[in-house]
Chains A and B, each alone.
Chain A
Amino acid sequence: MAAPNKGRSSSAQSKPWRSLALILIAIVALTGGMFASGHTTPRLGIDLAGGTSITLGAVPENGNEAAINPTNMNTAVQIMERRVNGLGVSEAEVQTQGDRNIIVNIPKGTNSQQAREQVGTTAKLYFRPVLATEPSGGSATTNPSPSASSSGDPDKATGSESPSASASDSASQGATPSAGATTQGRAVTDALKADPSPSSSGSASPSASPSASGSATGDADGKLQAQYAALDCSKESVRATTGEGAKPTDSTVGCGEIQGVWYKYLLGPAAVDGTEVDDAQAVYDTQSGAGWKVQMDFTSAGAKKFADITGKLAQNQSPQNQFGIVLDGEVVSSPYVSQSITGGNAEISGSFTQEEAQGLANMLSYGALPLTFREESVTTVTAALGGDQLQAGLIAGAIGLALVVIYLLVYYRGLSFIAILSLIVSAALTYVIMSLLGPAIGFALNLPAVCGAIVAIGITADSFIVYFERVRDEIREGRSLRPAVERAWPRARRTILVSDFVSFLAAAVLFIVTVGKVQGFAFTLGLTTLLDVVVVFLFTKPLLTLMARRKFFASGHPWSGLDPKRLGARPPLRRTRRPAAGPVETKEA
């Protein structure tokens, strides 16, 4: 019974086809992408799919057993957790086992090799002045700093699995701005005699004042010389142990690769160290075409030291105007310095791949491990919950959703067709996007997330129930369907947006503040909330607009769910008076 009044039929969304086409194209494109990428199922967490379990044992450095204490172990756990689960969505788990072991569990499908490198790397970073360098294998002609004392015993291999994420980077020549190089020949000795870090800011950075190190015996010096001379960086076994155990305050030797050639370095005491790196990101250098590089921001103390050391190095001649960026004993890059670099940031460039650059930036941001770890064992583990749990969850969820569909059918009749289609679209989008996020950002679904996704679909249904109820209210007012659909929309839209905003706020705050699994949850919540809005705006509303033009709905067919009679619409012109709906006591017979 369409009411004879002419509501404003000017549709706020006069082109419903356009939105529908948009969302359908998006679904098709995403699904195509999903099949193209070959990841047709969402990646599952350890609880559902099992994965790899890495056991790492802490190694006492230089016989320092006391360092292996609960505090350091917990710090290591936290740092590793951040490294393997930076976004919080990868479902990796890190925990201590016993007094000196750490277990890292990575879900199936993640790159376990990469993860092993990430967690096992100590990520001790030092900026050391280069005293001498040459392609490895040749004879060394160096003028090492006479005041530098050599490290304890570099052969004390601590067996840390050192190949860091940047093991294969060639050190590029020329990170950091180089403008107006005026190198004045000054002996490196002078450069080093000057205290490279005058401000001992109480941070972990050593103040390398060579003359004060006192232990500069010719013997130790000679030993380092000899070591440098004998160093053969082309052998991997040698490289793995080179520079290990070197104290930051001592000179040391190191290996680095430049464009496929291994170079050996004689390095002075560390001028700045990794703890003074505040933050690091991987960026793509479009300017010089250098590809991926890592940009670092120093803390204020670090920035000052860095400016000092670069200022000093800039006055030296090659090779002593270079500093070596030494990560876990390996020289990952040895840029030339042509002027003091102020401003507190530096960059490491090399022929990084994106993953390597991100891995390195990750490690620098989250800091160095307080202990060195050795990989004790790597083994696969089966699902913690067994496959039956996921099956049970999916079956139960499917039954639950089927009940939802039945309920909607009974209550909304024809309208439920739109509701169910919206649910299907919502579920499909969620599934496809989660599948794609697996390879993209390491997103893995655990059982709670599966349950959350099932519930989220229920919450999506909430949005269009709000809208449908509005439409029905309009019809009860005696409006015909098309104006009812259009007039109900702005209000329903506001309600949907306000309530979804609250959910999204929760997701955003939790994602920014928290770490680990809570962060993963926040990500899922944010995703489903956004999808909810997208589906209601681009699918449910336009579809209802279109359907309103169909006779079946517009004429209020008894099975359309919009039958004015069943909804108890009042005849538009001769409305009966509505009885008092106030407090019960006013309702007189």
Chain B
Amino acid sequence: MSKLGNLGARLHRGEVGYDFVGNRKIWYGISILITITAIVGLAVRGLNMGIEFQGGAVFTTPKTSVSVSQAKEFAEEASGHDAIVQQLGNGSLRIQIAGIDTGQADRINQALAEDMKVDAEKINAELVGPSWGEQIANKAWQGLGIFLVLVVIYLAIAFEWRMAVAAFVALIHDITITVGIYALVGFEVTPGTVIGLLTILGYSLYDTVVVFDSLKEQTRDITKQTRWTYSDIANRSINSTLVRSINTTVVALLPVGGLLFIGGGVLGAGVLNDISLSLFVGLAAGAYSSIFIATPLVADLKEREPQLKALRKRVLAKRAQGADRGETVAVDDAGAPFDDHPEDAAPAVVGPRDQPAPRTRGRGRPSGKRR
């Protein structure tokens, strides 16, 4: 782990770093591919909605000695769907199965009667409506819409509209992927799933906002220097928050992974899977998109601004010059905007021209050599 610690330091100083922005096309491509797969999965397979959303059939058995878990097995075998089995006060069982119409209900009724060794006449079968009705769904959509509008406005004020757009794109990307995975895997969509999705929504934005915060800070005085283009700075800010991103993602994914693989896999708890899968996929997608999608997208949008275009030209020209002279230019601590001097508290990308006099103390002479 000490390597990781050093890596953190090196990332911080910008000694190492991956060119996220430069290779953005690759990541965009990968994301588009995954998104298309997800949409195709949605279109072809559709979502397997649970009983809470679409209703289904409810079978009430007479008093029986069959255990709840046995009955659940019988019901799932007979119907091919998830079943919710509850024991009622009088010892009878209530078995709810999603997505069953009247015709199937009779067949399942027969199968249940045989399995449970009771008279089919005595099993009462009825259709049940959704407990998560249309009203709840509609209101949820409405709430989601209002939230998205507000959050875009907020981000546009707190940061700028380009970041708001990028965060929004990243969010849609995360949700599409997660929903698509559900369609592909064929897991039943329960209220738990929806709640997982909503959790992701907050988390995905949270992650993106943390990266943007550092980006905003580091690009404050970007036009006052000619060393870096916006993309370079964006890249550096991803790299310098990379350790944080990795750590927070690991810390968030570990418990969810526990739920998914240990809770769902080993202990065989079905509903946990429904919930934790959406969380797991969503969290992973959220972390990925905050690094590979949102920030490069901001850089893309920013580089279209005339002043930044001009900056880019200047920077490239200068680099070309430097290359001609065969020396690298001195680098100021761009990624390390702090200094011992209070007046320096404002982080900025400071070019040599802006250097306050005291800052040349013992350094600042271009050495031209890297150690």
Instruction: Say yes or no for A383: interface residue by CB 8 A criterion.
Output: yes
Given the known interface contacts A404-B251, A465-B247, A582-B232, the answer about A396 and B272 at a Cβ–Cβ threshold of 8 Å is yes
Q: Judge whether A474 and B68 touch: CB under 8 Å.
A: no
Contact of A78 among B135, B239, B331 (CB under 8 A): B135
Task: Count residues of A near B (Cβ-Cβ below 8 Å).
Answer: 115
Q: Judge whether A509 and B146 touch: CB under 8 Å.
A: yes
Instruction: Say yes or no for A159: interface residue by CB 8 A criterion.
Output: no
Q: Judge whether B271 and A574 touch: CB under 8 Å.
A: no
Q: Judge whether B205 and A502 touch: CB under 8 Å.
A: yes
When distances are taken between beta carbons in the complex, the residues of chain A under 8 Å from B127 are: 97-98
**CB-CB contacts below 8 Å: A516-532 with B:** 516-518, 521-522, 525, 529
Expressed in whole angstroms, the Cα–Cα distance for A575 and B69 within the complex equals 68
Which among A235-243, A432-440, A565-573 touches the partner chain?
Answer: A565-573
When distances are taken between beta carbons in the complex, the residues of chain A under 8 Å from B78 are: none
Q: Judge whether B9 and A476 touch: CB under 8 Å.
A: yes
Q: Judge whether B6 and A586 touch: CB under 8 Å.
A: no
Contact pattern, B 195-215, Cβ under 8 Å of A = 1, otherwise 0: 110110111011001100110
Instruction: Say yes or no for A301: interface residue by CB 8 A criterion.
Output: no
Q: Judge whether A7 and B340 touch: CB under 8 Å.
A: yes
When distances are taken between beta carbons in the complex, the residues of chain A under 8 Å from B203 are: 455, 459, 503
Q: Judge whether A451 and B262 touch: CB under 8 Å.
A: no
Q: Judge whether A97 and B328 touch: CB under 8 Å.
A: no
Nearest residue, chain A, Cβ from B154: A505
Nearest residue, chain B, Cβ from A490: B345
Nearest residue, chain B, Cβ from A478: B340
Instruction: Say yes or no for B362: interface residue by CB 8 A criterion.
Output: yes
Expressed in whole angstroms, the Cα–Cα distance for A383 and B269 within the complex equals 14
Which among A204-212, A218-226, A247-255, A374-382 touches the partner chain?
Answer: A374-382
Q: Judge whether A499 and B209 touch: CB under 8 Å.
A: yes
Instruction: Say yes or no for A217: interface residue by CB 8 A criterion.
Output: no
Contact of A447 among B12, B275, B345 (CB under 8 A): B275
When distances are taken between beta carbons in the complex, the residues of chain B under 8 Å from A385 are: 84, 271
When distances are taken between beta carbons in the complex, the residues of chain B under 8 Å from A77 are: 129, 133
Expressed in whole angstroms, the Cα–Cα distance for A379 and B17 within the complex equals 64
Instruction: Say yes or no for B191: interface residue by CB 8 A criterion.
Output: yes
B128 to chain A, nearest CB (A): 5
Q: Judge whether B19 and A452 touch: CB under 8 Å.
A: no
When distances are taken between beta carbons in the complex, the residues of chain A under 8 Å from B131 are: 93-95, 105
Given the known interface contacts A462-B206, A499-B209, the answer about A572 and B258 at a Cβ–Cβ threshold of 8 Å is no
Instruction: Say yes or no for A103: interface residue by CB 8 A criterion.
Output: yes
Expressed in whole angstroms, the Cα–Cα distance for A334 and B35 within the complex equals 64
Expressed in whole angstroms, the Cα–Cα distance for A407 and B340 within the complex equals 33
Contact pattern, B 63-98, Cβ under 8 Å of A = 1, otherwise 0: 000001100000000000000111111100010000
Q: Judge whether B1 and A477 touch: CB under 8 Å.
A: no
Contact of A577 among B94, B196, B240, B363 (CB under 8 A): B363
Nearest residue, chain A, Cβ from B322: A586
Nearest residue, chain A, Cβ from B326: A588
Q: How large is the interface on B (under 10, 10 to 19, 20 to 34, 35 or more residues)?
A: 35 or more
Q: Judge whether A455 and B258 touch: CB under 8 Å.
A: no
B169 to chain A, nearest CB (A): 16
Instruction: Say yes or no for A182: interface residue by CB 8 A criterion.
Output: no
Contact of B139 among A465, A513, A581 (CB under 8 A): A513
Expressed in whole angstroms, the Cα–Cα distance for A395 and B228 within the complex equals 50
A567 to chain B, nearest CB (A): 5
Instruction: Say yes or no for B284: interface residue by CB 8 A criterion.
Output: no
Q: Judge whether B331 and A466 touch: CB under 8 Å.
A: no
Instruction: Say yes or no for B370: interface residue by CB 8 A criterion.
Output: yes
B256 to chain A, nearest CB (A): 6
Contact of B136 among A7, A501, A514, A574 (CB under 8 A): A514
Q: Judge whether B12 and A473 touch: CB under 8 Å.
A: yes
Q: Judge whether A462 and B13 touch: CB under 8 Å.
A: no
Instruction: Say yes or no for B255: interface residue by CB 8 A criterion.
Output: yes
Expressed in whole angstroms, the Cα–Cα distance for A508 and B270 within the complex equals 31
Q: Judge whether B6 and A566 touch: CB under 8 Å.
A: yes
Interface core residue of A396, A461, A525, A574 (most chain B CB under 10 Å)? A396
When distances are taken between beta carbons in the complex, the residues of chain A under 8 Å from B89 are: 379-381
Expressed in whole angstroms, the Cα–Cα distance for A449 and B69 within the complex equals 24
Q: Judge whether A395 and B15 touch: CB under 8 Å.
A: no
Expressed in whole angstroms, the Cα–Cα distance for A487 and B345 within the complex equals 9
Q: Judge whether B271 and A47 touch: CB under 8 Å.
A: yes
When distances are taken between beta carbons in the complex, the residues of chain A under 8 Å from B367 are: 577
Instruction: Say yes or no for A397: interface residue by CB 8 A criterion.
Output: yes
Instruction: Say yes or no for B111: interface residue by CB 8 A criterion.
Output: no
Expressed in whole angstroms, the Cα–Cα distance for A413 and B94 within the complex equals 52
Contact pattern, A 104-135, Cβ under 8 Å of B = 1, otherwise 0: 01000000000000000000000000000000
Nearest residue, chain A, Cβ from B13: A578
Contact of A510 among B147, B232, B267, B361 (CB under 8 A): B147
Expressed in whole angstroms, the Cα–Cα distance for A72 and B266 within the complex equals 46
Contact of B362 among A388, A449, A574 (CB under 8 A): A574
Instruction: Say yes or no for A185: interface residue by CB 8 A criterion.
Output: no
When distances are taken between beta carbons in the complex, the residues of chain B under 8 Å from A447 are: 192, 271-272, 275
Nearest residue, chain B, Cβ from A398: B258
Instruction: Say yes or no for A312: interface residue by CB 8 A criterion.
Output: no
Q: Judge whether A399 and B262 touch: CB under 8 Å.
A: yes
Q: Judge whether B192 and A380 touch: CB under 8 Å.
A: no
Instruction: Say yes or no for A535: interface residue by CB 8 A criterion.
Output: no
Q: Judge whether B192 and A578 touch: CB under 8 Å.
A: no
Interface core residue of A398, A448, A589 (most chain B CB under 10 Å)? A448
When distances are taken between beta carbons in the complex, the residues of chain B under 8 Å from A398 are: 258
Nearest residue, chain A, Cβ from B2: A566
Instruction: Say yes or no for A198: interface residue by CB 8 A criterion.
Output: no
A587 to chain B, nearest CB (A): 8
Given the known interface contacts A396-B259, A476-B12, the answer about A382 and B251 at a Cβ–Cβ threshold of 8 Å is no
When distances are taken between beta carbons in the complex, the residues of chain A under 8 Å from B1 are: 410-411
Interface core residue of B134, B151, B158, B191 (most chain A CB under 10 Å)? B191
Nearest residue, chain A, Cβ from B11: A581
6 closest A-B pairs by CB? A581-B14, A400-B258, A568-B9, A400-B255, A396-B263, A96-B129
Q: A399-B262, A587-B370 are in contact. List 5 more A-B contacts (CB 8 A).
A: A81-B133, A384-B85, A396-B263, A451-B276, A578-B13
Query: Could you list 8 examples of A-B contacts with CB < 8 Å?
Result: A78-B135, A382-B87, A410-B1, A448-B192, A457-B255, A478-B340, A581-B14, A584-B22
